[in-house]
Chains A and B, each alone.
Chain A
Amino acid sequence: MRGYLGEVLLDQVSKRYGRGPWVLRDLTLEVSGLTVLTGANGTGKSTLLRIAAGILKPTSGRVVRPASVGYVPERFPSDVRMSASSYLAHLGRVRGAVAGDVLERLGFVGSMTAPMSELSKGNAQKVALAQAFLASDVLVLDEPWTGLDPAAADELVSLLEGRTALVSDHEGHLAPATRLDLSGGHVMIELSRVPALDALEALEGVRSVQTRGSSVRVEVAPDRSDHVLAEALRLGCSVRSVR
């Protein structure tokens, strides 16, 4: 399945490892600009990113993504024997893309021909970012600011402007981006006969509103679900389901 217009769509995605607990449950998310994932450790941010990138298959649900996705893992390995220049050249050839000026803009300092295991953590992270920016459609970045100096961190924010990206970020580097907090789960309310989407979106606790045919799915913070339900009924909506 290929995405459209460089967007990633996760539709009712759930994930559990083997018979373990559910890490993600019925998550629906459309990434069409900059989207930041937040949440405490262990809330499934990295799992969600790996599903979005195509590394993991969801236990249930559907993922639609474009052809060219760039991915930066939470920790880029420190024992790579290949040089940065070879690595980027090889991955560029695999993508059929030419390396841009990402490394220069991030202020990479170090040998391009020495094994990457000899690079500092920050410079190795810059190589990881440079390979991801070879992708033309969507970026999936797991804590991409890890190890970057302040100047490189600011430059990464600039590089992300105008891109479609799903990013996990604890430190608030992307303040204007759409945010999705994975902490504490959510309640999904499915409504029909909705007279005003704007009024629903404005309700406190509503995280997202998505139209699907004749119904509307409203993702709500668990502590505000009763309030949102009452308001939806007051607006004249019919409630199809609450999960």
Chain B
Amino acid sequence: MISLVRYLAADVLRGQRYLAPLLVFLGVMGMLFGGDAGEPLEAYSGSSALLYPVAAWMAVVVATSEDVVRREITVVTAGGWSRVLTAAALVSVLFAVAMALLAAVWPVVTNPHPYTAGQFFVGLGAHTGCALLGVGVGLMFARPVFDSTGRTVLAVFSVVVLTYPLGRVTPLGWVLDALGHNEVSLSLLWAGVAGAVLVAAAVLVGVRRA
């Protein structure tokens, strides 16, 4: 599995499609934390909200980095769809966690308000939860669940856009609500659990559809 993860990660990095979501992420992070971003946890809410669609976008990039034919060779080489889709999910989660870590560290360096270690780890957990939700949404509608790129983009965009107005109905809403009120809440943990379950479900749906 480690060899497969290394191969898929190397393939993503060899391509340049990962640059678009990464640059959007870095650009918006720069704008969010260009000045005083507010209280420590409150400051994390903007970057958590940002990480959700960026992680979904990155997951689609990872899932579709290999074209259909090369993915088939990889499936035969690895011994089945379940191994390849699990590895693709792990690569997506690795990219997402790296961005979550960056997003958690960024305001600690730039925000004039001092951060405690506890606040940093709450922020890291919140970002990781949002990133996992994004990865789950991205994988749920990417190949092999939806074969066409157009349908994937439309479905992921629709779900991401519809998530925000639903507020506390969704796990993302739990995170943004807690951070927005500068509170530490168990809902942050549950959002992470929901994200992990969504990623696992996306892998299972992919294996069934393949």
Interface residue ranges, A against B (CB under 8 Å): 50, 53-55, 57, 67, 69-73, 75-77, 79-82, 86, 90-91, 93-96, 115, 128, 131, 134-135, 140
B73 at the interface (CB under 8 A from A): yes
Q: From residue 110 to 140 of chain B, which have CB atoms closer than 8 A to chain A?
A: none
Closest to A55 in B: B72
Q: Which of chain B's residues have a CB closer than 8 A to the CB of A67?
A: 79
A53, A75, A79: the one contacting B76 at CB < 8 Å is A53
B11 touching A82 by the CB < 8 A rule? yes
Known: A77-B69, A82-B14. A71 touches B7 (CB 8 A): no
A57, A115, A131: the one contacting B73 at CB < 8 Å is A131
Closest to B4 in A: A94
B10 touching A71 by the CB < 8 A rule? no
A134–B6 Cα distance when bound, in Å, is 18
A157–B116 Cα distance when bound, in Å, is 68
The total of Cβ contacts below 8 Å across the A-B interface reads 63
Known: A77-B69, A79-B67. A94 touches B80 (CB 8 A): no
Beyond the given pairs A86-B14, A93-B7, 10 more chain A to chain B contacts, judged by CB atoms under 8 angstroms and listed by A's residue number, are A71-B72, A75-B69, A80-B70, A91-B77, A93-B3, A94-B7, A94-B77, A94-B78, A128-B73, A140-B76
Min CB distance B187 to A, Å, is 40
A86 touching B10 by the CB < 8 A rule? yes
A90 touching B76 by the CB < 8 A rule? no
B75 at the interface (CB under 8 A from A): yes
Min CB distance A52 to B, Å, is 10
Closest to B73 in A: A71
A95 touching B77 by the CB < 8 A rule? yes
Q: From residue 28 to 76 of chain B, which have CB atoms closer than 8 A to chain A?
A: 67, 69-70, 72-76
Known: A82-B10, A90-B7. A76 touches B76 (CB 8 A): no
A57–B15 Cα distance when bound, in Å, is 30
A90 touching B6 by the CB < 8 A rule? yes
Q: From residue 87 to 122 of chain B, which have CB atoms closer than 8 A to chain A?
A: none
Q: Which of chain B's residues have a CB closer than 8 A to the CB of A131?
A: 73, 77
A71–B10 Cα distance when bound, in Å, is 21
